Structure 1
């Protein structure tokens, strides 16, 4: 393999990670407070709470699926590049054809 085929590096800073975690926490608490203070019956609150929980869990699942697809395509691309480099390294244009 060549020197330019490095594994993918994490480009997120600690500040970005903290901001994302804080935004998630604030939005989840805001959803919970909003559900608690709406003038609704208990079954309506339960429905909204279950829907909010489903949105949160499905968002995590979607993010994981997208990440896995991205990592998979990156690995396939690096494998194809390594195969091409091996073929080019093995190819000798000055070698006499031997029958």
Structure 2
């Protein structure tokens, strides 16, 4: 019998903290870029760089999450195979030669 997979609960407080932290950081950098004493083209270049960094961060987070899910699935399949072998094995079985 396979034990149920361990679920790591994500609390509401953790989720809110992560969202607020991201929002504050993004707002701070956006305000900093907007208030810099630069021309329009330089400000636009920095803004585009900020958009690139944010989208790259989301992509990286998704890749890490997907990789972890694949690893958990592989672990479950290996555990199921091991459980099947253990259930089929009878240590007291007498094999005739």
TM-score by length of 2: 0.89
Tell me which stretches of 4 or more aligned residues in structure 1 moved more than 3 Å: 96-99
Gaps of 5+ in 2: none
Report the equivalent of 1:81. 79
Root-mean-square deviation (Å): 1.6
Say which structure, 1 or 2, has more relative contact order (CA 8 Å, 6+ apart). 1
**Alignment partner of 1:14 is 2:12:** yes
Report the equivalent of 1:68. 66
Alignment equivalent of 1:36, drawn from 19, 34, 37: 34
Report the equivalent of 1:92. 90
1:35/1:49 contact within 8 Å kept = yes
Report the equivalent of 2:52. 54
TM-score by length of 1: 0.87
**Aligned length in residues:** 97
